[in-house]
A and B are shown apart, each in its own frame.
Chain A
Amino acid sequence: MLALVPDAFGGRGGIAQYNRYFLTAASTAPGIEQVEILPRHAPDAFTLPPGLRQVAPGEGRIGYILQALSMALSGKIGVIFCGHINLVPLAALAARLSRSKLVVQTHGIEAWGNPGKPYRRALESADLVLCVSRYTRAQVLSWAAIDPERVVVVPNTVGPMFTPGDASDLRTQWGLTGKRVLLTVARMDARERYKGHERVIASLPSLPGDVVYVVLGEGDDRARLEAFARDTEVADRVLFKGGVGRDVLIESYRMADLYVMPSTGEGFGIAFLEAMASGTPALGLAVGGATDALCDGALGIAATEEDFHAALARQLVAGKSDPLALSAAVAARFGSETFTACTRSVLKRLLQG
């Protein structure tokens, strides 16, 4: 398998993480002997699991294209995996030239609208289109004339490090002892204002005074959100903690009383899973792919936009019930074993077909 991806190992963000999980699982699938990864970017150091080989990206766009085609034609490639819709024309060409099967991964908002003829036609030629959520799948089927059986959901997964635990040290360190903590983990990008930070901040004045909102993540929209918190007169109740390392992230999830992200543009919402796997209840909107992470309300709370504030208040009263049970339920539906089995079964199906 040749994987053409924006980033994977050594990359940052949700798509890179998904690719790492997927390609690692794919490398164990029957019929897949080797996975070769050609990323567009790999800024960080990384360690590769066995069965995977990642090649340094070529210089610039042209260099990447030439390298991708060269790799596709140089060896016996059975499957081309395209990790992002932006790469699908190149991946389709590589698949055609190398007579390989084409698997295209779609994530979130970038696949929700018709991406234009070259992308659409390339995607329609795919043997298998993977979507992270039912919503993304429905959107892809709305603009692509492709058999629905070829469009399959392989949802995000959550790493085994996200488990319930005692996070009182972090509470003490951040001065949150005795407080009820709301948490959002998301980039603050001006292009991603759909994440819903403002909606949470706007709710704070009507919530009890011991409720504090912790925001993790960085981005060019942070200053605007800080100003919004000041304008709403809750600046003392909103803690912008910036980007944090993995250990602090895990502790943060454990520490929070409620993970809240009223996003209207999630392809899936991996942070919901990480929070719930850490034993913390999650609240989002029943919009887009978030309903999958929240399992239509079976795992987390999927509120309507109108009911969001009331749902937030209700959940703060309800508090955490059984962190271990919630974590186990998340693992059963979205744990690495489930993800690996899902990945292997769709690839088996592809190779058999």
Chain B
Amino acid sequence: MCGINGIFAFHPSAAAPSRDEAVRIRDAMQARGPDGFGLWSNASGRCVLAHRRLSFLDLSERAAQPMLSTDGKLAVTYNGEIYNFPALREELEAQGVVFRTTSDTEALMHLYARDGQAMVRKLRGMFTFGIWDETRQGLFLARDPYGIKPLYIANDGWTLRFASQVRALLAGGAVSRDPEGAGVVGFHLWGSVPEPFTLYRDIRALPAGHTQWIDRAGPRAPQPYIHLASILADGARAPLPAAQIAPEVRDAVKDSVAAHLLADVEVGVFLSAGVDSGAMLGLMRDAGCSNATAITLSFAEFRGTSEDEAPLAALVAQKYGAKHIVRTVGEAEFRADLPAILAAMDQPSMDGVNTWFVAKAAREAGLKAAISGLGGDELLAGYASFRDMPRWRRRFGALAAVPGLGALARGVMNAALPGFVRANPKALGMLEYAGSWEGAYLLRRGLFLPHELPALMDRDFVAEGMRRLRPLTQLSGTLSPDPHSNNGRVCVLESEHYMRNQLLRDADWAGMAHSLEIRTPLVDIALLRRLAPAIAALKPGMGKAALAAAPSIALPAQIVSRAKTGFGVPTRAWMAAAARTNREDLAETKGLTSRRWSRKVLETFVPPAGTAQAGSPAL
């Protein structure tokens, strides 16, 4: 994992890029790549690429970036890991390609030289990269299918800039901070800024699973090269028989974990007392990683209670022969770290604090890379949304389809029982949103509902932000083509929205702040392809049970049964306390805490003009 950036003055009227600006952007990402740095520009000086390196494969200087092809016609700056690199290398060498390094970076160049832009279809992994093509005088950008790695683009009409972080682009000094209403409103709606928007109008994310070509005629529209919905739709055409699900999950996840261990450095694991991370550790052992370092967070508040994950995690670690490190975190440390947490947050997030501390602990343990069980709930129907959303649609879908009924009911209830409406903002939303999958998902994951937003920000700003954001349209777009199963639909919505915009982004900034690469074997396109027929056929609990049984030594029964009740984390209470004023020292619901925290986080970013969020929140 690294930090990449570049500047391409594509328009003939534009001045050549400033190398100083490129360096400012690059060095704003120092934590992403403390092992090395580089800067390169093409012969005409119209394109500058830069790189901050955190090295995992071929630690030598010959693998430094930006890397040039032997003939000097290609240059690449790349962030990520290509897990099928050994197979790709073998394939290329069989065709006569001679490698100078043992890094996956070089493979990207050879693949591009052979396959052109179609090369992305060959890649398994997490990645973003930019390849300068001197022959075609153009820049090729790409991002992995799930969007594990971030890539942001700022195009002012003359010059295109890209970087791994929004804040880095701003640090260059040439990108406007004009607010993007869709980003601000979207953050209030979801608790994270929904891609492709950011808080800033001139900065957008390259969508996951897309490539983009830029040449003298300017940036082309990003082109998708993969659709999660299509993969799930294909899988649903031939659902796996129930008896075959567990073996298929075992084989597929084992393969993914083994692939994700590719590195020339030690790869550890985040270990909670849940099924996902425990299975990761068990499968790491099966893949030959017999003494992995496992990091568990423990909270002082929970010590000695059933909420403490450390004892069960220790049981798992012992079962798989791991070197177990329990790192205890308390509220005092949270408060001490809070300024650094907010400073590291690339875009506002209502979460990520847990990831911050577990990444911190991993780095303290000397790790540069760690496996995470992130993605298991999305892949294997672990969330309540897989059960709730179809149920909501069955119960309320017909009523919600009546035009205006939901708004009318809300109006009546507002007048008759305003306290109930305030305390249960989503309950009435059933009559407005449960008629569609995207509406149900908004109910499931929305931090606020659209009608609540004018109480937080200027009404016109909200209206304009919603018009640009079009949240329901955006959600429904990801469901095209239809995945042909309820599990598939929820899997796509959770993977392409909550997981991408919240979990993976948090993993990136919180991990990178500690120069730690977080690897996610359960967020893997090859895995999804294999399990798509199983996902369509999963019954409640079946997926996680299969995962728990996937290691050759199955997870202890306590883990499987305990996972059903879940664990609490005190960070939510700490966040609430940090966000509250003294006079509000009252117990509050989880939803209210999230809302209050999200607003505190947003206030630490430059308050975009036209919004009222710098003032006292209307919570």
Interface residues of A, Cβ cutoff 8 Å to B: 131, 133-134, 137-138, 141-142, 145, 147-153, 155, 292, 295-296, 298, 332-334, 338, 341-342, 345-346, 348-349, 353
B201 engages A142 (CB within 8 Å): yes
Across the interface, A153 reaches (CB within 8 A) one of B11, B204, B468, B470, namely: B11
A145 engages B467 (CB within 8 Å): yes
**Chain A contacts for B12, CB-based, 8 A:** 332-333, 338, 341-342
Q: Give the contact-size bracket for chain B.
A: 20 to 34
Tell me whether B216 is interfacial, beta carbon within 8 Å. yes
**Chain A contacts for B468, CB-based, 8 A:** 145
**Chain B contacts for A137, CB-based, 8 A:** 156-157
CB distance from A84 to the nearest CB of B (A): 19
Instruction: Give the dominant DSSP class at A's interface.
Output: helix
A145-B468, A149-B220, A349-B217 as given contacts; A138 in contact with B13, CB under 8 Å: no
Across the interface, A134 reaches (CB within 8 A) one of B156, B178, B222, B467, namely: B156
Contact flags (1/0) for B4-44 with A, using CB distance below 8 Å? 00000001110100000000000000000000000000000
For the complex with contacts A134-B156, A349-B217, 7 further pairs of A-B residues with Cβ separation under 8 Å are A138-B176, A138-B202, A145-B467, A149-B220, A333-B13, A334-B13, A348-B217
CB distance from A269 to the nearest CB of B (A): 13
A138-B178, A142-B178, A345-B217 as given contacts; A148 in contact with B155, CB under 8 Å: yes
CB distance from B600 to the nearest CB of A (A): 28
**Chain B contacts for A296, CB-based, 8 A:** 15
A349 engages B158 (CB within 8 Å): no
**Could you show 17 A-B contacts with beta carbons less than 8 Å apart?**
A134-B156, A137-B156, A138-B156, A138-B157, A138-B202, A142-B178, A142-B201, A149-B219, A152-B217, A153-B11, A153-B157, A296-B15, A338-B12, A338-B13, A341-B216, A342-B12, A348-B217
Interface residues of B, Cβ cutoff 8 Å to A: 11-13, 15, 155-158, 176, 178, 201-202, 204, 216-222, 467-468, 470
A295-B15, A334-B13 as given contacts; A147 in contact with B221, CB under 8 Å: yes
CB distance from A352 to the nearest CB of B (A): 9
**Chain A contacts for B176, CB-based, 8 A:** 138
Interface centre among B12, B15, B216 (most CB of A within 10 A): B12
A349 engages B220 (CB within 8 Å): yes
CB distance from A188 to the nearest CB of B (A): 29
CB distance from A164 to the nearest CB of B (A): 21
**Chain A contacts for B202, CB-based, 8 A:** 138
**Chain A contacts for B467, CB-based, 8 A:** 145
A292 engages B217 (CB within 8 Å): no
Chain A: CB-nearest residue to B157 = A153
CB distance from A286 to the nearest CB of B (A): 13
**Chain B contacts for A149, CB-based, 8 A:** 155, 218-222
Bound complex: CA A296 to CA B158 (Å): 12
Across the interface, A155 reaches (CB within 8 A) one of B13, B15, B217, namely: B13
**Chain B contacts for A142, CB-based, 8 A:** 178, 201
**Chain B contacts for A292, CB-based, 8 A:** 13, 158
B218 engages A152 (CB within 8 Å): yes
Chain A: CB-nearest residue to B470 = A145
CB distance from B14 to the nearest CB of A (A): 8
**Chain B contacts for A152, CB-based, 8 A:** 157, 217-218
CB distance from B537 to the nearest CB of A (A): 38
Bound complex: CA A332 to CA B15 (Å): 11
CB distance from A290 to the nearest CB of B (A): 14
B218 engages A134 (CB within 8 Å): no
Chain A: CB-nearest residue to B202 = A138
Bound complex: CA A333 to CA B14 (Å): 8
What 6 A-B pairs come out closest when comparing CB atoms? A153-B157, A345-B217, A134-B157, A137-B157, A145-B468, A333-B13
**Chain A contacts for B11, CB-based, 8 A:** 153, 342
Chain A: CB-nearest residue to B467 = A145
Interface centre among A151, A153, A332 (most CB of B within 10 A): A153
Across the interface, B15 reaches (CB within 8 A) one of A133, A145, A298, A353, namely: A298
Chain B: CB-nearest residue to A155 = B13
Chain A: CB-nearest residue to B15 = A298
**Chain B contacts for A153, CB-based, 8 A:** 11, 13, 157-158, 218
CB distance from A24 to the nearest CB of B (A): 18
**Chain B contacts for A332, CB-based, 8 A:** 12
Bound complex: CA A339 to CA B178 (Å): 29
**Chain B contacts for A155, CB-based, 8 A:** 13
CB distance from A137 to the nearest CB of B (A): 4
**Chain B contacts for A150, CB-based, 8 A:** 221
CB distance from B133 to the nearest CB of A (A): 16
A131-B157, A142-B201 as given contacts; A295 in contact with B13, CB under 8 Å: yes
Across the interface, B204 reaches (CB within 8 A) one of A145, A148, A338, A342, namely: A148
**Chain A contacts for B222, CB-based, 8 A:** 149
Chain B: CB-nearest residue to A332 = B12
B221 engages A134 (CB within 8 Å): no
Bound complex: CA A138 to CA B180 (Å): 12
CB distance from B570 to the nearest CB of A (A): 42
Chain A: CB-nearest residue to B212 = A149
Bound complex: CA A141 to CA B176 (Å): 13
CB distance from A350 to the nearest CB of B (A): 10
**Chain B contacts for A131, CB-based, 8 A:** 157
Bound complex: CA A142 to CA B202 (Å): 9
CB distance from B173 to the nearest CB of A (A): 12
CB distance from A327 to the nearest CB of B (A): 16
**Chain A contacts for B15, CB-based, 8 A:** 295-296, 298
CB distance from B41 to the nearest CB of A (A): 17
CB distance from B222 to the nearest CB of A (A): 8
Bound complex: CA A333 to CA B12 (Å): 6
B156 engages A346 (CB within 8 Å): no
CB distance from B159 to the nearest CB of A (A): 9
Bound complex: CA A98 to CA B220 (Å): 25
A141 engages B220 (CB within 8 Å): no
A151 engages B157 (CB within 8 Å): yes
Chain A: CB-nearest residue to B464 = A143
Chain B: CB-nearest residue to A153 = B157
CB distance from A214 to the nearest CB of B (A): 28
**Chain B contacts for A133, CB-based, 8 A:** 157
B13 engages A141 (CB within 8 Å): no
CB distance from A314 to the nearest CB of B (A): 21
**Chain B contacts for A147, CB-based, 8 A:** 221
Bound complex: CA A150 to CA B219 (Å): 9
**Chain B contacts for A145, CB-based, 8 A:** 467-468, 470
Bound complex: CA A111 to CA B216 (Å): 25
Bound complex: CA A298 to CA B15 (Å): 8
CB distance from B312 to the nearest CB of A (A): 49
Across the interface, A141 reaches (CB within 8 A) one of B201, B217, B219, B470, namely: B201
CB distance from B478 to the nearest CB of A (A): 17
CB distance from A227 to the nearest CB of B (A): 38
CB distance from A277 to the nearest CB of B (A): 14
Bound complex: CA A353 to CA B13 (Å): 24
**Chain B contacts for A333, CB-based, 8 A:** 12-13
Bound complex: CA A18 to CA B166 (Å): 36
Chain B: CB-nearest residue to A296 = B15
CB distance from B323 to the nearest CB of A (A): 49
